[in-house]
Each structure stands twice: as C-alpha cells, then as structure tokens.
C-alpha cells in the first residue's frame, strides 16, 4: 500500500477540541509539516497563548510551554537567548497578540528576537464567546460591539503586519489566508520561510494567518470562508510585507 498522506510526526495526533469549520486545525498541521520537512521537531520549542489555541501543547509533538495571556513573545525571547540554537515559535490569536500582548510583540520585533510568531487572526475573541478584538472589522457585530464596530467608539482594526514590518528588527513579515487550497499552500511556504529566516538569525519573523470562526461569526464553515474573502482579505491584504535583504 502506498501512503499518500499521513499525520505529521510533529503532531501528537490528539483529537482537536476546535469547533467544526475552524481553521486552527489546518494551521497547526501546516506548522507541523514545516517542522517535519525541516527536521527540527526535536530542536523546536513552542509557546501557546491564552485563547482558542491554549491547548496547542496537547497537539504539537515537541517541547511546549503555555504562556500567560499575551506574554508569549517575552517568554520566547528568554528561551531563545538562553538556547540560541533551538527553534522558537509562538502561536497567538488576535486578542493575545494585538490587544493584551501588544507591548510584548512590538518589543520582540523591535529587538529583532530570532523567533517565529504564528499569528492567527479571526477578528474576535473566540474562546470567551465572540467579543470584539483589536482586529474586529468596522461594522462587524460582536458581543461587545453589538451595534457593529464604529471607528468613533472603538477605533480602527489593527493591521499588525503593516505595524511590525516597519521595525528594523523584523526580518520576515507576511500575511496569508487559509480560505482555499492555493492560499493554504502559500501559508505553508510562508511558515517555512519564516523558520528558515529564523535559522539564519536575521531577526524577528511573523506569519499572520487569516482564519475563520464560524461559531462566533454565526456562519456555516463554507459561508465563513466566503465572508473571509469578501470582508477580511480586502482590509487585510495578503502578501509579504518585509523580507530582510530583499
């Protein structure tokens, strides 16, 4: 029998707790495939956030540490400085990274910490029941923006790639989406590139992945993908924002 697809070794195989249609599972798999392909599972340390992916330590088959809300980049900083030949990644949602952890991510990128951040943007706080996040789009209804996000009340959605890419310390900043197979392949390429640039020691690397939350958006999984294409991608353009040396 010829094996044409299998579970990456860098995943434990534990059953995901994610909701139907949630794209965290895809993104986990992409990170794991990259770890397999680069053969770095045993040299990699992952930091998971507080948010939907808080249990990511159950899924990644490498040394994992679960951080306080927003602090993953600070934790990764210390580990990388003490163990400079390991691969460090943080896996963070939009509330974790762009709200309570804004300080940590901005400073880690400014210092040029040689870590890779996987930033999953689904425009709201999923785990706590769909509250507004810094990345919630204008007009978007959440439980804490029940009249739709208004710029004069809640300000504008955070564009993290644009913000972090201006830092000298940022070596690779890229935004991708997992709405279709082509973009999923591009996402994996970007994650791989980020790990490779980390290995070269060029500086901070981040891949922002636009993700869906069918449960809290109140949409079916397929409608959620469509919503992402129609609303998120126009506001959060895909592509590489910073590639050091290019």
Partner 1 sequence: MQRVLMKGNEAIAEGAIRAGCKGFFGYPITPSSEIAEYMARKMPALGGVFVQAESELAAINMVYGGAATGSRVMTASSGPGISLKQEGISFLAEGELPCLIVDICRGGPGLGGIQPSQADYFQATRGGGHGDYHIIVLAPSSAQEMMDFTMLGFELADKHRSPVMIMAEGTLGNLIEPVVLRDAVTEFVDKPWAITGCRGRQPNIVNTLHMPVELLQTRNQHLTKKYEAIRSEEIRSEEFMTEDADLILVAYGIMARIARKAVINARQLGLKTGLIRPITLWPYPYETLGRAARHCKAMVSVEISTVGQMIEDIRLAAEGKVPVHYIGEIGRTPNPEEITQQLLAIAEREGLR
Residues forming the site for partner 1 (CB under 8 A)? 41-45, 47, 54-55, 57, 60-68, 71, 74-79, 81-83, 86, 103-104, 106-107
Q: How far is the CB of 223 from partner 1 (least distance, A)?
A: 30
Q: What does the alpha-carbon distance between residue 193 and residue 118 come to, in Å, rounded to a whole number?
A: 12
- DSSP states along 157-202: PP-HHHHHHTSTTEEEEEEEE-SSHHHHHHHHHHHHHHHHHHHHT-
Of residues 66, 51, 29, 10, the one with CA closest to residue 191: 29
Q: How far is the CB of 37 from partner 1 (least distance, A)?
A: 17
Residue among 53 and 165 whose Cβ is closer to partner 1: 53
Residue among 43 and 131 whose Cβ is closer to partner 1: 43
Pairing label, strands 239-243, 170-177: antiparallel
Q: What does the alpha-carbon distance between residue 93 and residue 208 come to, in Å, rounded to a whole number?
A: 10
Q: How far is the CB of 219 from partner 1 (least distance, A)?
A: 27
Q: How far is the CB of 100 from partner 1 (least distance, A)?
A: 10
Residue among 66 and 240 whose Cβ is closer to partner 1: 66
Q: What does the alpha-carbon distance between residue 58 and residue 147 come to, in Å, rounded to a whole number?
A: 37
Residue among 74 and 207 whose Cβ is closer to partner 1: 74
Q: How far is the CB of 217 from partner 1 (least distance, A)?
A: 25
Alpha helices in 39-70 (DSSP H): none
Residue among 71 and 193 whose Cβ is closer to partner 1: 71
């Amino acid at each position: 029998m010829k094996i044409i697809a299998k579970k990456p070794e860098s995943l434990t195989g534990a059953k995901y707790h994610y909701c139907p249609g949630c794209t965290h599972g895809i993104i986990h798999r992409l990170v794991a495939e990259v770890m397999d392909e680069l053969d770095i599972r045993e040299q990699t340390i992952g930091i998971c956030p507080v948010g939907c992916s808080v249990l990511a330590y159950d899924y990644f088959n490498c040394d994992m540490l679960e951080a306080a809300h927003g602090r993953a980049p600070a934790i990764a900083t210390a580990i990388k400085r003490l163990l400079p030949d390991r691969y460090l990644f943080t896996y963070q949602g939009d509330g974790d990274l762009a709200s309570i952890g804004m300080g940590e991510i901005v400073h880690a990128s400014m210092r040029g910490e040689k870590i890779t951040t996987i930033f999953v943007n689904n425009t709201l706080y999923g785990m706590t029941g769909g509250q507004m996040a810094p990345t919630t789009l204008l007009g978007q209804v959440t439980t804490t923006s029940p009249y739709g996000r208004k710029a004069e009340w809640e300000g504008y959605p955070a564009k993290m790639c644009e913000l972090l890419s201006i830092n000298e310390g940022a070596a690779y900043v890229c935004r991708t989406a997992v709405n279709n197979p082509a973009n999923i392949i591009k996402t994996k390429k970007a994650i791989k590139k980020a790990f490779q640039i980390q290995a070269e020691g060029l500086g901070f690397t981040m891949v922002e992945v636009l993700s869906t939350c069918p449960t809290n958006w109140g949409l079916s999984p397929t409608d959620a993908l469509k919503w992402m294409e129609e609303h998120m991608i126009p506001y959060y353009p895909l592509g590489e924002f910073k590639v050091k040396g290019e």
